[in-house]
Amino acid sequence: MKKELQRRVDRIVDLLDQKKAEDIQVFDLHDKEYLTQAVIIATTLGDKHTLALLDYLKEDLKPAGETFVAVDEGEQWTVVDLGDIMVHLMVPEYRAKYNLEEFLDSLGKREVTSNEE
């Protein structure tokens, strides 16, 4: 992953970790045929936490120059499209049901984050 992209991903992961998101995983897809270069998946503590995490991302990232290309906002699953980074925030039930990790593992390598150790 390029240095600038890694810096941005790290910023997002750090913010999610500080705001109590769980099981944060990063998928490096920069050299794969996928619509984005990196995907971040995080489990939320519930519906309101999902929406709060989106607000935290907007408050922190917009002033830093991040462009929110699109946001598909929901209480159980919110997707944030930052162009070359996609962030999925999901309640535990949705994360287990849709198991994006299996699909993304088949495309690229996964980075272990601090709260997986």
pLDDT digits (tens, 9 = 90+) for 74-100: 889 999 999 999 999 999 999 999 999
Q: Which structural domain, as residue segments, surrounds residue 67?
A: 3-116
- Which CATH number covers residue 33? 3.30.460.10
CB distance 71 to 80 below 8 Å: yes
Residue 108: what pLDDT? 59
Report helix, strand or coil for 37: coil
Residue 115: what pLDDT? 55
Q: Is the pLDDT of residue 110 over 70?
A: no
Structure-token match 């999925």, residue found:
88
Q: How far apart are CA 104 and CA 27, in angstroms?
A: 7
Q: How far apart are CA 37 and CA 33, in angstroms?
A: 9
Q: In what order do the strands lie in the sheet with 85-90?
A: 70-72, 77-81, 85-90, 38-43, 22-28, 109-112
Residue 117: what pLDDT? 45
For the stretch 38-74, pLDDT in tens is 999 999 999 999 999 999 999 999 999 999 999 999 8
Domain count within the chain:
1
C-alpha closest to that of 78 among 99, 49, 102? 49
Confidence band (pLDDT; 50, 70, 90) for 111?
A: low
Residue 103: what pLDDT? 87
Instruction: Look at strands 85-90 and 38-43 and give their pairing.
Output: parallel
Number of other CB atoms surrounding residue 8 within 10 Å: 20
Residue 105: what pLDDT? 84
Listed in sequence order, the residues at least 6 apart from 104 whose beta carbon sits closer than 8 Å to its beta carbon are 27, 29, 39, 41, 110
Residue 87: what pLDDT? 98
